[in-house]
Each structure stands twice: as structure tokens, then as C-alpha cells.
Amino acid sequence: MPENLLEEIAGQIETLKSRFHSQLKLVKDLGQLKELEASVLSKKGTIAQLNRHLGALDPEERRTAGALINQARTELQAEFEQSLSQLMKKWREEELAVEKIDLSEIISDSNFFAGRMHLITRTRQELEDVFVGMGFTVEEGPEVESDWYNFEALNIPPYHPARAGQDSFYLRYREPESMLLRTHTSPVQIRVMQSRQPPIYAVMPGRVFRRDTADARHTPAFHQIEGLVVDKGITFGHLAGTIETFTQAIFGPNIVSRLRPAFFPFTEPSAEFEITCTICEGGGCRTCSQTGWIELGGCGMVDPNVFNAVGLDPEEWSGFAFGFGIDRLAQMRHSISDMRVLLDNDVRFLRQF
């Protein structure tokens, strides 16, 4: 063995290191990286082979050479790990870039119209929001009703003149004239009172039907919202306050409400509620026939006969009810001259809201 064996080992280590560095730069995939690791750092790798020379050294030199070899192994191992994680990261990024799916949609048509809620739906939702804010729940009932729910339970007996005013669509089902498309949302009051015990604070929006010929102010299918409060000690003052609160919430501070005596079979006393004319704000115009007011709906204190129909004791409970047209309210709010456009589905009209 040459005397300068130790130096030679040190030299071999340096060569090995620089070869490792340049090979590392050329690695293209995980397989090549693993091959490089095996050829240099494994048990039979080039580093381990250096150990074969150790036997020819004296103990002192052997320790020095062993330390040099170990140090080189640690160094190269660390470099290998580092490149492994760098390469993994780079490959992952490349993979993601290739697999990327562009889910965004480019709308190049400047006339694109995304669609929106129908004015009636929006008005109904706004009304629901206002009443939910006042502590009411929102309830629904069926559009096909029996005579009992639509009339009898609401204190409208057969041959009562109030039936004539509500030209009904009857169904050919069961007894003649026993089933119909509901003419108002008031039957939902009955269903709510049957379904649970008071206190009840509920609004009931929905579609209703009457045999009206369509004109500027009527359509045979339209929408109403019903209100019902049943609790102890409810007064006409609570009714008036509720109507005023919702009127201002929907129409703003310039529009107020007033009540005028009226008749409905299911409330006693009954009233019609009017709001400041939204066109002239009270000054008088054609729409309000120069009165400054327009009628919105009916209301009153729940009639004892209605409480009896659902088995509630009128001595124990009191309440008020109201009902009005959602379409009519939207018509007034947006000064829509002809109701029929609400059913036409003409986007030139619909997209304005």
C-alpha cells in the first residue's frame, strides 16, 4: 500500500462528491434518483467501497479515514434527501398544472342576461322577511281546498252572499261543488289553528284563484298573503299597529295606513285597510280617484264562530287576521298599469326588477 493512502482516500472522496453533484443535476425522474442513491449511498455503493482500503491503514489513519468517509456519507445523504423533496415538489406542481381543469366560465356575450326572481316571488319574499322580523312564522296550505276550509269554517255558510263575490273554480271531484281551487288564503288560518295551540303569529302567502276575466287590475290566478295572530288579550290596537309597521317597512316613511269599517264573515269587527296612494303620495290623482288613498286588503278581529270551528275557546283566546293581494301590492309599488304583464313572462318587463 502506498504511504499516501490516506491522501488518496481523501482525494477519492472529493472526486466521488463532485461526481455525485453533477449526476444529481442530471436526474430527470424518481427512478434515476433512486439509482443514483443506490450506486453511491447503499451498502455496496461507491462510498461503502472506500471502506475496503481501511484495513491497510494503521489505527490512527484508519480512524481519520473512517471519519472522513462517514462525514462524506452524511453530507451526500443530506443532499440526496434535499433533492428528493425538491424534485417531488416540482413534479407535483407539474402534475397539478397538467391536471388543472378550468371551471370558470367566460361570458363573451355582452347581452348575457343571468335571470332573476320574478317580481311576485321577490315581493313575497320581502313581505315574509318583514313579518319574520316582527316575530311571525311563515306557513303554507294546499291550493285545492274543500268547501269546509274555504268557506264554512270561515263562517261563510252555503247560500251566504259572500260566496257569490268569490266566483270559484270547482273541481269535478267527490260531491258537486265540494272541492275547489281556494279563492283566498284565509283557509290556511283554519289549518294553522288546527295544527297547533296558540300563541300563533303566522303569515301565509300563496296562490289563489277566481273566475275573473283578466283585465288591467285582475288575473284569474293571483297571490295573497294572510296574517293571523291568536293569543291572550289581543286588541284592535295590535292589529292597527301591525298593519302600520309593515306598511312603513315595505313602502317607506311617506306612506301610512288607515282602517275603514267593512264586513268580512270571518272577522268582527272588520276593516279594509288603505295606504297613502303611492302614485301621488296623498295629493290626489287618477289612480286613487282623487282621494289620496288606495285600498290594499281586509282585516279584523277573529270572529268567535271561527274559533269555535277549530275548537278554540273565544272566551280564552282573542286574535286578529288580515289578508291582501301580493300582486296588487307589487303593482302599486312599481306603478304597473296592467296586471297581465306579470303573467306574460316577457323578459323586457321582467328584467327591470
Residues of the shown chain interacting with ligand DAH in the complex, contacts defined by CB under 6 A: 184, 186, 226, 264, 267, 297-300, 321-323
Comparison of 40 and 192: residue with beta carbon closer to ligand DAH:
192
How far apart, in whole angstroms, are the C-alpha atoms of residue 187 and residue 204?
Answer: 10
Comparison of 267 and 276: residue with beta carbon closer to ligand DAH:
267
Comparison of 198 and 298: residue with beta carbon closer to ligand DAH:
298
Q: How far is the CB of 221 from ligand DAH (least distance, A)?
A: 14
Strands (E), 149-255: 179-181, 200-209, 221-231
Question: What DSSP assignment string belongs to 120-177?
Answer: HHHHHHHHHHHHHHTT-EE----SEEEHHHHTGGGT--TT-HHHHTS---B-SSSSTT
Q: How far is the CB of 109 from ligand DAH (least distance, A)?
A: 45
Residues with Cβ within 8 Å of residue 27, at least 6 apart in sequence: 33, 36, 83, 87
* Residue 25: alpha-carbon gap to chain centroid: 55
Q: How far is the CB of 208 from ligand DAH (least distance, A)?
A: 7
Comparison of 13 and 239: residue with beta carbon closer to ligand DAH:
239
Q: How far is the CB of 128 from ligand DAH (least distance, A)?
A: 17
Report residue 255 as a C-alpha cell: 306612506
Q: How far is the CB of 276 from ligand DAH (least distance, A)?
A: 20
Comparison of 36 and 301: residue with beta carbon closer to ligand DAH:
301
Q: How far is the CB of 348 from ligand DAH (least distance, A)?
A: 31
Comparison of 9 and 302: residue with beta carbon closer to ligand DAH:
302
**Residue 295, strand partner residues:** 274
How far apart, in whole angstroms, are the C-alpha atoms of residue 93 and residue 155?
Answer: 75
